Chains A and B, each alone.
Chain A
Amino acid sequence: EPEVTQTPSHQVTQMGQEVILRCVPISNHLYFYWYRQILGQKVEFLVSFYNNEISEKSEIFDDQFSVERPDGSNFTLKIRSTKLEDSAMYFCASSGDRSGEQYFGPGTRLTVT
């Protein structure tokens, strides 16, 4: 069964460093998303991406964040200068249509020290 994959599973970085989180969405999906979950809190929407551009982003998704689909399979989230409060589980999701099921990857746990 197709699934969303994410790498790495755990990333530890120092404050101020850049990180790139990688995702491979389900192959025939067209809509891509990033969410995050701070420990013990709700899952929060960050950004949605369709047709090679951002379709919506949340207030969390400030200038420190960017997304890219560099090729036909990968979807990345870059945080330019990490802060302690960026420590969270980051989930990638994909969907085959605009209002269909969103399938989530296993997540990348980002720890900023």
Chain B
Amino acid sequence: SQQGEEDPQALSIQEGENATMNCSYKTSINNLQWYRQNSGRGLVHLILIRSNEREKHSGRLRVTLDTSKKSSSLLITASRAADTASYFCATDANTGFQKLVFGTGTRLLVSP
């Protein structure tokens, strides 16, 4: 399957620290997207990185993609309590279809 798997499943840090979450997938992709989900709420799009890109930044977010290892990482720098949420990676298959396959997510807890 194309499943993405995030690592770690849960991460607990203090405000101001950096948080790194990893995602692995199994098949070739067009792009990989990261989403945030607050408990019981909708999915907020964070960043999209294409298969021909290696790194992308957006504010305090830094995403890397290593297609040879079929993995991506999301770094949140200088974390805040408001960053507490679940973070998911989602890949779309390199088959011309648009469906996203989501990983299991990393639950991030940022304590004040």
Contact = CB atoms under 8 A, between A and B. Distances in A.
A35 B92 CA distance: 14
A48 B48 contact: no
Contact of A56 (B41, B98, B105): B98
Contacts of B31: 99
Interface residues on A, range: 20 to 34
Contact of A45 (B48, B88, B99): B99
A102 B100 contact: yes
Nearest to B104: A42
Contacts, number: 62
A93 B98 CA distance: 11
A105 interface: yes
Interface in A35-67: 35, 42-45, 48, 50, 55-56, 58
Contacts of B44: 104
Contact of B98 (A42, A43, A55, A104): A55
A67 B92 CA distance: 21
A31 B102 CA distance: 18
B54 to A, nearest CB: 18
Given A43-B88, A102-B100, A104-B45, 9 more contacts: A33-B98, A35-B100, A43-B43, A55-B97, A99-B30, A99-B31, A105-B42, A106-B41, A107-B42
A106 B105 CA distance: 18
A58 B93 CA distance: 14
Interface of B: 30-31, 33, 35, 40-45, 48, 88, 90, 92, 96-105
Contacts of A95: 98
B100 A101 contact: no
Given A42-B104, A99-B30, A99-B31, A91 B43 contact: yes
A91 B42 contact: yes
17 contacts: A31-B98, A35-B100, A42-B104, A45-B99, A45-B101, A56-B98, A56-B99, A93-B43, A95-B98, A98-B98, A101-B33, A102-B45, A102-B90, A102-B100, A103-B45, A104-B45, A109-B40
